[in-house]
Structure 1
C-alpha cells in the first residue's frame, strides 16, 4: 500500500484554515441593525390632526401607544428607535422618533409633537463611585456609628415603653 505524500495534505489544510479565519473575521466585522418600538409610518403619523381626531381615532390609526403619560393619561407616546452595532460593541442609536399626542380632558387631540435623535443624551459616569452629599465616614464608623446613639432602657433617651 503506497504512503501518501504529506505535502498533498498541506494545501487543502491551509485552504480550510484560511477559509475558517476569513469567515470568523467577516462575522466579527458584521454590522447588526436593530429596530425597537413603534414602526413609524409617515402617512399615518401625519394624518393625526389637532381638533379633528380624538383618543379613539388615534388608537385606530396608530394603534396602542408605546406608553401613556406618567402624570396624566392625556398624553400618548409612540417611540421608535433604530440602532446599529458592530460585532460585540454596544448598540448605538442611529435614528429615533418620539411622537407625542396630547389630549384635552374631553379626549380630543390638542397637539402632536415629534422629536428625533437630537434629544438623546450620552451619559458618562465618572469613576466607580457615586458622589453623595453628607458626612464622609470610615468603614468602622459605618459599623459602630450607632452605638450610643439610641437611648438605653431606663435613661432619658426614651428607651423604655413606660415613659
Structure 2
C-alpha cells in the first residue's frame, strides 16, 4: 500500500510540474497607451465637436502636435511576449483628431498596424563619415599639429 501512495504523489507532482511548465510558456500581454472604447471614438463627429467636447469624451490625448494644424493623437498598443523572447506588437492603433483654428473637429482618422515600421539595424556599429583610424593613429595622430600655423586655433598671444 505504501508503494501505491508513492506513485500517487509522484503523479500529483508530475501534474503540478506539467501545469507550471505550460503556464510558464504562455504569452504575456501588455497594453500601453489609450484604452480604445469604440463607442466613444465613434461619438467624435467632424463639424459637431470641438476640443472641449473631445477632451470630455475621449479624455486627454496621448500626444499633441507641436507644429502646423492642431492634432491630438490617442495611441494604443498591445504586445505579446513569450518567455525569453522580445515583445512583438500584436495590435497598434492611432486615432488622430484634427482641429481647425477655431478648435472645431475637422477629421478623426484611425490607423493601425499598416503604418508601423519595424527597424532592423545593420550591425552593432554606427556608420560615420570620414577616415577609419587605428588606435595608434588616435593616440599619436595630433602630435605636431597643435600650434602649427594654419591648423586649429592655437596661440592666443600677441602676434
| TM-score, normalising length: structure 1 | 0.80
User: Corresponding residue for 1:19?
Assistant: 15
1:76 Cα deviation after fit: 0.7
Matches of 2:139 and 2:93, distance apart in 1? 49
> For 2:94 and 2:48, how far apart are their aligned partners in 1?
21
Deviation for aligned residue 1:69: 1.5
Cα RMSD of the aligned pairs, angstroms, is 2.6
Which one of the candidate residues 29, 37, 40 is aligned to 1:44? 40
Q: What is the total number of aligned residue pairs between the two structures?
A: 157
Task: Give unpaired runs (5+ residues) of structure 2.
Answer: none
Give the alignment of 1:9-88 within 5 angstroms.
10-12=6-8, 14-71=10-67, 74-88=70-84
Cα distance in structure 1, aligned partners of 2:94 and 2:154 = 57
Give the direction of change, closer, same or farther, for the CA distance of 1:161–1:29 in structure 2 (3 Å limit): same
1:97 aligns with 93
Q: Can you give the 5+ residue segments of structure 1 that lack an aligned partner in the other structure?
A: none
Provide closer, same or farther for how the CA distance between residues 108 and 148 of structure 1 changes in structure 2, counting only shifts above 3 A. Answer: farther
Of 140, 145, 162 in structure 1, the residue corresponding to residue 157 of structure 2 is 162
1:27 to partner: Cα distance: 2.1
1:148 equivalent in structure 2: 144
SS of corresponding position for 2:39: helix
Could you tell me whether the CA contact under 8 Å between 1:27 and 1:87 is conserved in 2? no
Change (3 A) 1:110 1:19: same
How many Å separate the matches in 2 of 1:85 and 1:93?
9
- How many Å separate the matches in 1 of 2:127 and 2:35? 40
- Contact 1:98 / 1:116 at 8 angstroms: preserved in 2? yes
Moved more, 87-96 or 37-46: 87-96
* Residue 86 of structure 1, CA deviation: 1.9
Contact 2:48 2:104 in 1 (8 A): yes
